[in-house]
Amino acid sequence: MKIMVIGSTGQLGADLIAALPQAGLQALAISGRQDLDIINTAAFAAFLDQHRPDAVINTAAFHNVDLCESQTDSAYKVNTIAVRGLAVECQKRGILLFQIGTDYVMDGPSDSKPLPESAAVHPKSIYALTRFGGDCMTLTHAPTMGYVVRTCGLFGLAGCKLKGGLNFVDTMIAAARAGKPMRVVADQIVAPTPTDDLAKQLILMIQRRPGPGLYHAVSHGQCSWHEFACTALTMAGLDHPIAPVSSGEFAAPAHRPSYSVLDNARLRHLGLDIMTDWRSGLQRFIEKKYPRHK
């Protein structure tokens, strides 16, 4: 099978490109607009006809949560309208489409239990609203070929291009090594998810091909961003204080969910949930990227 990965140089994309050949699948890498502008549906359709992939995994999005608040048109075009085009063209050709979604569309109370696919959505920012639009476009326009895979708090070796090649863990370790004062929110609860685990989960879904629709795929367990940061420093052998603060103290332009821990209910029901605990994924990431010399 030939698998087209849109956003192949991002954290998840890079791990997919590495893992697909190991699973006996051919990877077709699309790194960015210089390779293919997904807003241009006609160009996307022509690309599909030329390269004939068996599945498309779209990891691309307008990811800058705060900038979406002021650049609403761009966010809508990339996160919603472009996805409609992907769904329509993949459905026409019988090509599987895996649209990577976000936990930001959910927002439960702080005493919630992990939220299954059946839970109500509560998008409270332009980013969340437009990403939910992409979910809807996938499920509506690719009813037999479309998969929405929502995930949360991604971190991987490739880092986030939006953050200069760094992810949350990288940023915390860099700040601690530099001896900078550190403050991290303690009132937002998430399930940090390593991209190598998610890549393997997506590949299993391609191979097993469960029914189309909405799936959650996150690490098991949950923590606050503050606990996540403290755990990362401890695992990296860094002794540096991190002050817990409320999200209100940062006054970010866009709302962040207070509780967006997802439950992999559908995958678990099908016996396909191979995600691991967030701590083991974090430990593996740090051992690979920040090995400690003995």
pLDDT recorded at residue 236: 97
Assigned CATH class of 2-157+192-219+261-275: alpha beta
Task: Read off the pLDDT of residues 248-283 as tens digits, 9 standing for 90 and up.
Answer: 898 899 999 999 999 999 999 999 999 999 999 999
pLDDT recorded at residue 229: 98
Q: What is the pTM of this model?
A: 0.96
Is 104 considered catalytic here?
no
Q: At 159, is the pLDDT very low, low, confident or very high (cuts 50, 70, 90)?
A: confident
CA distances to 135, 146, 188, 214, 283 from 257, rounded to whole Å, are 18, 26, 7, 20, 25
Nearest to 15 by CA among 178, 3, 150: 3
Q: At 148, is the pLDDT very low, low, confident or very high (cuts 50, 70, 90)?
A: very high
In degrees and rounded to multiples of 5, residue 38 shows phi and psi of -70, -15
Query: Is it the case that residue 60 has pLDDT exceeding 70?
Result: yes
Task: Read off the pLDDT of residues 170-208 as tens digits, 9 standing for 90 and up.
Answer: 999 999 999 999 999 999 999 999 999 999 999 999 999
The lowest-confidence range among 79-83, 89-93, 141-145, 164-168 is 164-168
Mean pLDDT of 4-16: 96
Question: 76, 104, 127, 215: which is the annotated catalytic residue?
Answer: 127
pLDDT recorded at residue 294: 44
How far apart CA 77 and CA 61 sit, in angstroms, is 10
Q: At 70, is the pLDDT very low, low, confident or very high (cuts 50, 70, 90)?
A: very high
Contact 195, 149 (CB under 8 A): no
In the chain, pLDDT over 70 holds for what percent of residues?
Answer: 98
Q: At 33, is the pLDDT very low, low, confident or very high (cuts 50, 70, 90)?
A: confident
Strands 146-151 and 189-190: unpaired
- Round the average pLDDT of the chain to a whole number and report it: 95
Query: Is it the case that residue 99 has pLDDT exceeding 70?
Result: yes
DSSP per-residue letters across the chain: -EEEEETTTSHHHHHHHHHHHHTT-EEEEE-STTT--TT-HHHHHHHHHHH--SEEEE------HHHHTT-HHHHHIIIIIHHHHHHHHHHHHT-EEEEEEEGGG----TTPPPB-TTSPP---SHHHHHHHHHHHHHHHH-TTTEEEEEE-SEE-TT-BGGGTTB-HHHHHHHHHHTT---EEESS-EE--EEHHHHHHHHHHHHHH---SEEEE---BS-EEHHHHHHHHHHHTT-----EEE-GGGT--SS---SB--B--HHHHHTT-----BHHHHHHHHHHHHSPPP-
pLDDT recorded at residue 163: 63
Query: Is it the case that residue 36 has pLDDT exceeding 60?
Result: yes
Q: At 110, is the pLDDT very low, low, confident or very high (cuts 50, 70, 90)?
A: low
pLDDT recorded at residue 144: 98
Query: Is it the case that residue 237 has pLDDT exceeding 90?
Result: yes
Task: Read off the pLDDT of residues 76-89 as tens digits, 9 standing for 90 and up.
Answer: 999 999 999 999 99
